[in-house]
Amino acid sequence: MAPRRDDDEGERPSWREIDQRRDRSGGQRPPKKERLPKKQAERVRKQALAQAEALFKGKRALPEYQAALRVLEANHGTKKFAAQVKKFLEEFGLPEEWGALNRLLDYPEPGVVEEVLKAMAVQVGARNRVEQQGFKSRLKILALTSPHAGLRRGAEEILAAL
Protein backbone atom coordinates (compact mmCIF):
# COMPACT_ATOMS: atom_id res chain seq x y z
CA MET A 1 0.00 0.00 0.00
CA ALA A 2 1.27 3.43 -0.97
CA PRO A 3 2.06 5.90 1.79
CA ARG A 4 -0.56 8.56 2.35
CA ARG A 5 0.19 12.14 1.63
CA ASP A 6 -1.07 14.83 3.96
CA ASP A 7 -2.76 16.88 1.23
CA ASP A 8 -4.96 13.89 0.14
CA GLU A 9 -6.81 13.74 3.44
CA GLY A 10 -8.75 16.98 2.92
CA GLU A 11 -9.98 16.02 -0.55
CA ARG A 12 -11.57 12.65 0.13
CA PRO A 13 -14.95 12.59 1.85
CA SER A 14 -15.40 10.22 4.72
CA TRP A 15 -17.92 7.37 4.59
CA ARG A 16 -20.13 9.34 6.92
CA GLU A 17 -20.22 12.30 4.47
CA ILE A 18 -20.95 9.97 1.57
CA ASP A 19 -23.90 8.45 3.45
CA GLN A 20 -25.22 11.87 4.40
CA ARG A 21 -25.13 13.02 0.78
CA ARG A 22 -26.93 9.89 -0.29
CA ASP A 23 -29.62 10.40 2.35
CA ARG A 24 -30.21 14.03 1.34
CA SER A 25 -31.08 13.08 -2.22
CA GLY A 26 -33.95 11.03 -0.83
CA GLY A 27 -33.37 8.30 -3.37
CA GLN A 28 -35.46 10.17 -5.90
CA ARG A 29 -34.72 9.96 -9.55
CA PRO A 30 -34.80 13.04 -11.71
CA PRO A 31 -38.27 13.67 -13.15
CA LYS A 32 -38.92 12.12 -16.55
CA LYS A 33 -39.60 14.29 -19.52
CA GLU A 34 -43.20 14.37 -20.49
CA ARG A 35 -43.84 12.51 -23.69
CA LEU A 36 -46.30 13.51 -26.35
CA PRO A 37 -49.16 11.18 -27.18
CA LYS A 38 -48.32 8.82 -30.04
CA LYS A 39 -50.51 10.54 -32.62
CA GLN A 40 -49.15 13.96 -31.80
CA ALA A 41 -45.55 12.69 -31.78
CA GLU A 42 -46.07 11.11 -35.21
CA ARG A 43 -47.51 14.37 -36.55
CA VAL A 44 -44.55 16.34 -35.20
CA ARG A 45 -42.13 13.83 -36.72
CA LYS A 46 -43.82 14.06 -40.13
CA GLN A 47 -43.73 17.86 -40.03
CA ALA A 48 -40.02 17.81 -39.20
CA LEU A 49 -39.33 15.41 -42.06
CA ALA A 50 -41.34 17.55 -44.48
CA GLN A 51 -39.42 20.65 -43.43
CA ALA A 52 -36.09 18.89 -43.86
CA GLU A 53 -37.13 17.60 -47.27
CA ALA A 54 -38.27 21.08 -48.32
CA LEU A 55 -34.92 22.46 -47.22
CA PHE A 56 -33.08 20.10 -49.54
CA LYS A 57 -35.44 20.68 -52.47
CA GLY A 58 -34.98 24.43 -52.37
CA LYS A 59 -37.30 26.30 -54.73
CA ARG A 60 -38.91 23.08 -55.95
CA ALA A 61 -40.76 22.67 -52.64
CA LEU A 62 -42.41 26.07 -52.86
CA PRO A 63 -46.10 26.29 -53.74
CA GLU A 64 -45.14 28.80 -56.47
CA TYR A 65 -43.11 26.10 -58.21
CA GLN A 66 -46.02 23.68 -58.19
CA ALA A 67 -48.35 26.41 -59.48
CA ALA A 68 -45.90 27.26 -62.28
CA LEU A 69 -45.78 23.57 -63.28
CA ARG A 70 -49.58 23.53 -63.48
CA VAL A 71 -49.52 26.66 -65.66
CA LEU A 72 -47.01 24.97 -68.00
CA GLU A 73 -49.26 21.95 -68.25
CA ALA A 74 -52.34 24.09 -68.92
CA ASN A 75 -50.60 26.12 -71.64
CA HIS A 76 -48.95 23.19 -73.40
CA GLY A 77 -49.90 23.32 -77.07
CA THR A 78 -51.03 26.98 -76.98
CA LYS A 79 -49.40 30.19 -78.19
CA LYS A 80 -48.55 31.14 -74.60
CA PHE A 81 -46.46 28.01 -74.03
CA ALA A 82 -43.10 29.43 -75.17
CA ALA A 83 -43.48 32.54 -73.00
CA GLN A 84 -44.50 30.45 -69.99
CA VAL A 85 -41.52 28.11 -70.44
CA LYS A 86 -39.11 31.02 -70.70
CA LYS A 87 -40.53 32.57 -67.52
CA PHE A 88 -40.41 29.20 -65.71
CA LEU A 89 -36.79 28.53 -66.73
CA GLU A 90 -35.68 32.00 -65.62
CA GLU A 91 -37.35 31.63 -62.25
CA PHE A 92 -36.79 27.96 -61.37
CA GLY A 93 -34.39 26.46 -63.90
CA LEU A 94 -34.85 23.08 -65.53
CA PRO A 95 -37.47 20.93 -63.75
CA GLU A 96 -36.71 17.41 -62.51
CA GLU A 97 -40.19 15.98 -63.07
CA TRP A 98 -40.41 13.59 -66.01
CA GLY A 99 -43.74 14.94 -67.27
CA ALA A 100 -42.54 18.54 -67.20
CA LEU A 101 -39.34 17.61 -69.03
CA ASN A 102 -41.40 15.76 -71.63
CA ARG A 103 -43.51 18.89 -72.22
CA LEU A 104 -40.38 21.02 -72.61
CA LEU A 105 -39.35 18.94 -75.62
CA ASP A 106 -41.89 21.04 -77.56
CA TYR A 107 -40.10 24.31 -76.71
CA PRO A 108 -38.82 26.00 -79.89
CA GLU A 109 -35.30 26.84 -78.59
CA PRO A 110 -32.89 24.00 -79.53
CA GLY A 111 -30.38 24.71 -76.71
CA VAL A 112 -33.04 24.20 -74.06
CA VAL A 113 -34.34 21.07 -75.78
CA GLU A 114 -30.80 19.61 -75.79
CA GLU A 115 -30.52 20.22 -72.04
CA VAL A 116 -33.91 18.59 -71.53
CA LEU A 117 -32.83 15.54 -73.55
CA LYS A 118 -29.69 15.17 -71.42
CA ALA A 119 -31.70 15.47 -68.20
CA MET A 120 -34.18 12.87 -69.44
CA ALA A 121 -31.39 10.54 -70.55
CA VAL A 122 -30.07 10.55 -66.98
CA GLN A 123 -33.50 9.60 -65.62
CA VAL A 124 -34.59 7.12 -68.29
CA GLY A 125 -33.18 4.07 -66.46
CA ALA A 126 -35.48 4.72 -63.49
CA ARG A 127 -38.60 5.13 -65.62
CA ASN A 128 -41.09 2.40 -66.46
CA ARG A 129 -41.08 0.59 -69.78
CA VAL A 130 -43.83 2.70 -71.38
CA GLU A 131 -42.05 5.96 -70.50
CA GLN A 132 -38.77 4.58 -71.84
CA GLN A 133 -40.42 3.62 -75.14
CA GLY A 134 -42.05 7.06 -75.37
CA PHE A 135 -38.70 8.74 -74.81
CA LYS A 136 -37.03 6.60 -77.48
CA SER A 137 -39.82 7.47 -79.90
CA ARG A 138 -39.39 11.20 -79.21
CA LEU A 139 -35.65 10.82 -79.80
CA LYS A 140 -36.23 9.07 -83.13
CA ILE A 141 -38.66 11.77 -84.24
CA LEU A 142 -36.25 14.55 -83.25
CA ALA A 143 -33.34 12.78 -84.97
CA LEU A 144 -35.34 12.55 -88.20
CA THR A 145 -37.33 15.79 -88.31
CA SER A 146 -35.55 18.50 -86.33
CA PRO A 147 -34.43 21.47 -88.45
CA HIS A 148 -31.44 22.01 -86.10
CA ALA A 149 -28.39 19.88 -86.88
CA GLY A 150 -27.05 20.02 -83.31
CA LEU A 151 -30.33 18.82 -81.89
CA ARG A 152 -30.53 15.96 -84.43
CA ARG A 153 -26.98 14.90 -83.58
CA GLY A 154 -27.68 15.06 -79.82
CA ALA A 155 -30.82 12.97 -80.19
CA GLU A 156 -28.95 10.38 -82.28
CA GLU A 157 -26.14 10.17 -79.69
CA ILE A 158 -28.55 9.65 -76.80
CA LEU A 159 -30.50 7.09 -78.83
CA ALA A 160 -27.31 5.18 -79.60
CA ALA A 161 -26.35 5.21 -75.91
CA LEU A 162 -29.70 3.67 -74.92
Taking only the tens place, the pLDDT of each residue in 98-113 is 888 888 888 888 888 8
The pLDDT assigned to 54 comes to 66
If you count DSSP H runs as helices and E runs as strands, how many of each does the chain have, helices first?
8, 0
Q: Which long-range contacts (CB under 8 A, 24 or more apart) does 63-69 make?
A: 65/92, 68/92, 69/95, 69/97, 69/100
The pLDDT assigned to 40 comes to 80
The pLDDT assigned to 46 comes to 85
In the chain, where the domains are located: 42-161
The pLDDT assigned to 25 comes to 57
Per-residue tens of pLDDT for the chain, all 162 residues = 455 555 555 688 888 888 877 776 555 666 667 776 778 878 888 888 877 776 666 666 677 888 888 888 888 888 888 888 888 888 888 888 888 888 888 888 888 888 888 888 888 888 888 888 888 888 888 888 888 888 888 888 888 887
The pLDDT assigned to 30 comes to 60
The pLDDT assigned to 133 comes to 86
CB 61 within 8 A of CB 54: yes
